[in-house]
Structure 1
């Protein structure tokens, strides 16, 4: 599915809406650092930014990635009004591999316990993506999901600036 994207500020953007587990966010920050992705964090968080588990999971990569903070998802959308937002959810009908990604795309992930709010899913219903998994299990770990989808997007972009 092709959706036009006029925003090549960063190759890809990772958005975490109200993340709850510091180790997941730290792991995701590390993934963003090594891939060149921009990380966007939407408050409230289930931890403090000085949490040692967060820092340890991200190791010494924190200074190696662009990171932005927002008080709401709408604040992010307002900042990037022409952005393409792909929302990862178990409720999506299309696999994450069914879309053609472009530089500057945003990949949105919800909190570990509940996923994304209904209003975000409704607003982006044409770009809901899911990772295939067994029906009897709820979901993958958030950091694992971010890595899977990030690397598919980067593969489609021919792994820009990566060795």
Structure 2
């Protein structure tokens, strides 16, 4: 097998692992990985947080985050409320139902990855980072929105929403 074939196979395994996690997460909680990530961000700010702050914290576009927030609000997992101090500002908070759903959710796939990655020597972490950045560049993927949560399918869904 050629080296590029081995590399592509390894990439497919990573994609498959994230896809399996996403399916398991959805089956167990009814949430997608971006929904879980947004719920975690809202829960981490008990005084409330704006949608733009959530988008910035999780490195997704404001439009993508807004669409996910709309779905979470429709499902009564989060609540939007105008700030009493600044009527232009809308803050998000977790509903009791959202808190229950978040408490029942498994830990994100990347938590185990982070623990293992941080266990590597600094030189090996740098080497892996440089290699993945190079792969992203070779795949013309540097400008694709990506959240900290590993999940497959959200990019394709974003493209469908943009095209429609």
Q: TM-score, normalised by structure 2?
A: 0.33
Relative to its length, the structure with more strand (as a share) is 1
Q: TM-score, normalised by structure 1?
A: 0.33
- Which structure has the larger Rg? 2
